[in-house]
Each structure stands twice: as structure tokens, then as C-alpha cells.
Structure 1
């Protein structure tokens, strides 16, 4: 059984406002570790201003300078980062290195949170989502129904980062925090393990518009993002250089793409400069060789450009007499989607003083990839006062972290 060094993750908090918090990770290496770490940093609402990464293929050392918030729970961030670090033992001064084939995670249990409220105020769903995020409950699917009398039934399918939602104590904690937020307006609240039909078939079947399913024109993409390969500088690694506009979760988007292609990062340096981001990564294939094949370079370049220009796809359209917001979130091959997407969507809609009538979240196959698609039906009375272009722009800016 592997163990983790207590110093595998260290966090030095910023001393004053405006300073950056320093996160160091020192542990055994594995392909995709950078992606897993960046996903958790994004999950806690932090942005990476600068970073360094180096590894000898067995042990790695990563440094992140992040911009935090007054409410950031640093102790909890450290714990979550340590959980994705590969374990090791030290018998007879020999290190046992992480082997992913022996550490396949079990899919988390999905629970149904079902509650009725006596009213449907603007921002209600966002407030619920905020509480769930603070509880470390990840929303996988949502169904919201507003009755003619104004009462609301919310069905939220969630997983628990702490894997304790089956316990009475954890359920009482969840009910208590939601009750504190909803007050006397809550009618009933139940938590139960979701049925097999929910966990076995999360795929959506409804039609998706071309704005969501179509790829963007490569000529347009190439003007906004630069991705270059160099095999001359290093005898053993391919240098990949990226220059692009900064956005929320940018390093995660790069790392998850490389993880999906089984590309290992041996050394990297990245930093934000004004509105641009510069990334230099020395990489190699899973077999330890350079990326020499021009066709493979072309495929990786095309994918990265697409991910960095449009990591999420957003469209506002008519669905009969109603207005529907669609957001498509890419899913890693490991089955994880980008974190906090639903939180960001509800925050944007709330800022426009628009009520959410209903929500559905499901997985879709778009071309050769899986996407998590959010369908948000908006209150038509509120939408009549806000142009659809404004709704789309607000949601995109919130998801991308642009002011």
C-alpha cells in the first residue's frame, strides 16, 4: 500500500493583498498528473499566474503561483492536491513508483438530492449550486421544474468528493447548509442513492445545433493561437511553444489535451503576460520518444488550437416559444468534465436578473469525443428584456474569466 509524504504538497499563502500564493508539489510522477493538479486548482476557483514543472520520469517537482480569494480554504486545497499525487513506499531505500494500472479509481456513487421550495426567486439555483460547491458536491445532472403556482422542484444528481454522502452525518450536514440558505421556504428535502438507470445511461439524445457540434474554421483559429513544435533544441524531447490569449483554466485545457494523447511533460514553464499566456513545454510520447511524425504534430496542434480558442461551446437559441441556453463542456478520456461550469452558468444568468425555468445535463458524443451538455431553459418574461446576444456574451465571459 502506497503512502504519501506529508510534504508532497506545500502551500505558502500570500502575505498581503495582490501577492500570489505559492504551491509546490514534490512526488512520484505519472502521465496526466499536471492535468489532475490543474483541475483541482481550477475547482477551487484559482487562476495560475505562473508555473514551472520538471521530472526525470520517476519523480516530479511542480511549482504554481496562483491568485487566490479571501474565502479560499487552503488546508482543503492541500488535502485535495495530495489525494491525486501518486503514493510511494520507501522499503530498503528503494522507491516504489506509481503504476496507473494498479490504481484504477472506482466510479463515484451518484446521489439524488430532491427538494421542493415554496417560491422561485431569481438566483435560487445559483445559491443552491454555491452551497453544493462549498460542500464539495459535484453536480452531474440537474432537472428543475417550476410549477404554475411558483413552487419549484429541484432534482440534483451529485457525487461527493469526500465519498461520505452515504453516511447520516454527511447527509445531515448537507441538509443543514441548504436549509440555512433556503430558510422557511423549503417544503421537503430528501437524499437517496440514484438508480441504476441514471448512472448507467447518462447520454443525451436530443438534437444539438451546429453552433455546438461544428468545429471552427482552422484559418480563424490559427490567427488567434500559435502552437509550434521544435525537435532541434533537445536530443530527447520535443519542444512545444504556445502563445495565446489568457482565459480561466487555460493550463488545465492544455494539460488535459496532452493527457488524452498520452503525452508526457518532462519540463515546462508558463506565465501570464498582460492578456496573453506563454507556454514552453518539453514533451515526449508515452514510449519515451520525440514527436517526429508531422501528421501527429498536425493533429495535436489542431486539437490544442481548438481547445484554447473555444474550450467550451455556448449558444442561445429558440426552442419553440422559449429561449434555451446550451453550453457544451469537454470531458476527459478519464471521464471528468471541466469543474464549476454549472456554477459559472448560474452566476452569469443571475447577474442578468433572469430566472431559470428548467435545466438538464447529459453526456453527448460529438464527433469522436464526449461532451457534457447543459440545457438551460430561461424564463421567457425575463428574457424579453435582455437580448440573446447579451446573454451569450455574459455566459462566455463568465466561463472564460474575462472582464
Structure 2
């Protein structure tokens, strides 16, 4: 018998300024639940400074100590966390039957198209921030600037609330865009994106071989990436002697935004069950993780090849959770950012939000944007190609742009 629905997720606010908010989740278990929860916490802009997770394979108990912000909508966060938690029916097999035989319907994709009479620095970030607040997930973006300075933005989005087909929800979206864009907004349209509409949004197929070779190299780097601020040496150790039934993975590393999500995503993609986990990050940004894990068959990971493969992937996700490069595109400058997509098909949240924030801080305008997914080295990536507008002559050194974007994405600035 399950616990009361309202007790599945409990959020306890800090008792005094500076204390962490505590999120407790107590529900039936499923493989990848930790990843799903951490993704939502990251989506709401929260940082996990400490965590504990335990499960007996059927029921789990997770606690996250998070650092919030004044604008966090806690009631909405609780609702979104509840949506990914299995119900008590999962213990009877009903939940598994529904998952296997009735897969959820993919969300409808809508085209949000608007024209602005002029561009300005930070415009795209302001629009992206509004869409995030409205819980509209950006799937693809096509931004272009005409010779006379007008801007046409095409946003392909899905609605977490599944209401964008209604007139009220569309009017709410247009109203929020009018508020942030002001008199520069010429027109705004929202329509269901059919095959004929999405065809015009396809990204160009060409990526220079130098980019695909360097950015998407899956070999472990010799040293830390450019702009890497961590002073903590990365170490990953595997131990099969401390537990009769679990493999222990111990990690010491430098913290970054979404670190726990990256670790949980990797375990989920490998179909590995986390039975007990502990995470702690001190104020200096040093992290310690202890993960007691097992394979899908309930056994330890004894095969040295499997151990090495898992450790290599964890090391890669800790050193390079995202790929950032600033390159030449003819006479222009292009910013490229890429992140791996979960096997479930979901990309890392808030990447485009953070990219546009970094460029807004640097006072750099965006000329055009392409967002799309590509299969590179047998892995799906979400690739952001941003052509920078250097017409005003206020160009920053490329290494400064690259380092600043990476720092914002990693939460180091």
C-alpha cells in the first residue's frame, strides 16, 4: 500500500537565511528515477549541494539539499517532481504494464513565430527566459536577421502544461512576449507545427570535419578543457570488496552545474540501478560521491571491461558535460555548443538559456541560430550553432567568448 500522495514529495523551506531547502521523495522505485528528478531540479535553476538516495529495489527514499532563488515556484516544482514519481500501483505490476503497452504520446510541437522591427543585445535571452517561465520547452530555434535590421524568430516548442492549443494559453504567451519585447514586436503567431512547417526548420547537414573531430572526440582529454576552473583532481575508484551485493564507485571531483544529473543520466543510459548514493559538495566546490550500484540483473559489475567503460564515461561526463567552441564560419564568428542527449530522447535543460545569458553579459548580439540533433560517433547530440553579429565592431577575443560561455554553462560564474 502506498503512502499519501501529498507525502510523496515534501519540500521543507530553510529555517534561516543561508540554509539549504530540503526536498524529500518517498515513492516506488524505477530505473532512472534519480536522473528524472535531478533533471527537473536543474530545470528550475536549483543547485544540489548534498544528496542521499537509498532503495530496496521496490521502494526508494531520496533527499536533496538544494540552494534556491527568490523566484523559485516551489508549488510548481513539487507538481513536476510528482509527475515523474511512480504511483503506488507500480508495486502491483499495473504501472509496468502501462509503461510497456501504452507508451506516452509524444507532446505536440508548436511553431511560435514573431517579427521584431529591430534587434538589440540580449533580446534572444529575454525571449528564452520568458518561454522557460511559461514552461515551454524549446526544441528547435531558427533566428535570422534581415538586411534592413528586422528579426524573424522561429521557436519550435512543446508545452509542459499541454495547453498551447487553447486560445487562453496562446494569449498568455503572446502577452508575456509583448511585455518583454515592447514596441519592437511587429507580429506574433502560434500554430501547431505539421510536417510541412517543420521541414523549413531542418538544420544544415554540414559540420566541418575539424569541428566533429575535436568537439565530439570521445577519447579522454589529456588535460582539463580551456576555462576549466577546478583545482580538485578528478579520481574515480571501483571497489567490489565493501559490499556483498553491490559495486561501490567513489568519485572525487570539482562541482559544476548539473553534476548529479550528469552522473544519474549516465547510470540510466547504462541501465544501472543505484541502490544507495551519497553526494556532498563543500563551499569551495569540491565534491565527493559514493555510489553503490548493480547491473540490471541484480549482480555486481565484476567484468573489468565493463568497469573501465563505465569509469571512462563518468570521467568524460565530469570533464566534458558540454562541448563549447568558437570557430570561423567564412568571415564570421560562430559559437558552437553541444551536449549529449539521453537515450530517452531528452536533452539537457536550460542550455540555450545559459548560452544567451552569457552572450548578453558580454554585450554580443546574435545574428542567427540553428538548433538541431545529430548522430555523431554513434551518439545523439543536441547542437547549437550561433552566428555572432560583429557588425558594430565590438568583437571580443574568441577565447574569451568560449571561456565565458563555458563558465556560465558550468555554473562557475
Q: CA deviation at 1:271?
A: 0.6
Task: Tell me the equivalent position of 1:233.
Answer: 242
Q: Structure 2 unaligned runs (5+)?
A: 225-231
Q: CA deviation at 1:181?
A: 1.2
Task: Tell me the equivalent position of 1:194.
Answer: 193
- Residue 311 (str. 1) matches residue 310 (str. 2): no
Instruction: Give the Cα–Cα distance (whole angstroms) in 1 for the partners of residues 115 and 330 of structure 2.
Output: 27
Q: CA deviation at 1:169?
A: 1.3
Tell me, yes or no, if the aligned pair for 1:4 and 1:87 is still in contact at 8 Å.
no
Alignment match of 1:362 (pick from 366, 369, 372): 372
Instruction: Give the Cα–Cα distance (whole angstroms) in 2 for the partners of residues 103 and 21 of structure 1.
Output: 36
Instruction: Give the Cα–Cα distance (whole angstroms) in 2 for the partners of residues 184 and 3 of structure 1.
Output: 52
Task: Output aligned runs, 1:183-332, within 5 Å.
Answer: 183-196=182-195, 205-208=205-208, 209=211, 210-217=213-220, 219-220=222-223, 224-273=233-282, 274-332=284-342
Q: CA deviation at 1:372?
A: 0.3
Task: Output aligned runs, 1:1-400, within 5 Å.
Answer: 5-89=5-89, 95-96=92-93, 98-99=95-96, 100-102=99-101, 104-196=103-195, 205-208=205-208, 209=211, 210-217=213-220, 219-220=222-223, 224-273=233-282, 274-382=284-392, 384-400=394-410
Tell me, yes or no, if the aligned pair for 1:3 and 1:87 is still in contact at 8 Å.
no
Instruction: Give the Cα–Cα distance (whole angstroms) in 2 for the partners of residues 30 and 198 of structure 1.
Output: 37
**What is the RMSD of the two structures over their aligned residues, measured on CA atoms?**
2.0
Change in Cα spacing, 1:17 to 1:255, as seen in structure 2 (3 Å) is same
Change in Cα spacing, 1:86 to 1:356, as seen in structure 2 (3 Å) is same
Change in Cα spacing, 1:67 to 1:103, as seen in structure 2 (3 Å) is farther
Instruction: Give the Cα–Cα distance (whole angstroms) in 2 for the partners of residues 347 and 126 of structure 1.
Output: 6
Instruction: Give the Cα–Cα distance (whole angstroms) in 1 for the partners of residues 65 and 345 of structure 2.
Output: 28
Q: How many residues align?
A: 398
Instruction: Give the Cα–Cα distance (whole angstroms) in 2 for the partners of residues 118 and 146 of structure 1.
Output: 10
TM-score of the pair, normalised by structure 1: 0.94
For residue 70 of structure 1, give the secondary structure of its aligned residue in structure 2: coil
TM-score of the pair, normalised by structure 2: 0.92
Change in Cα spacing, 1:97 to 1:51, as seen in structure 2 (3 Å) is farther
**Cα deviation 1:262-292 (Å, max 9, x = unaligned):** 0000111101022211100110011111111
Q: CA deviation at 1:107?
A: 1.7
* Stretch of structure 1 that moved more, 379-388 or 67-76: 379-388
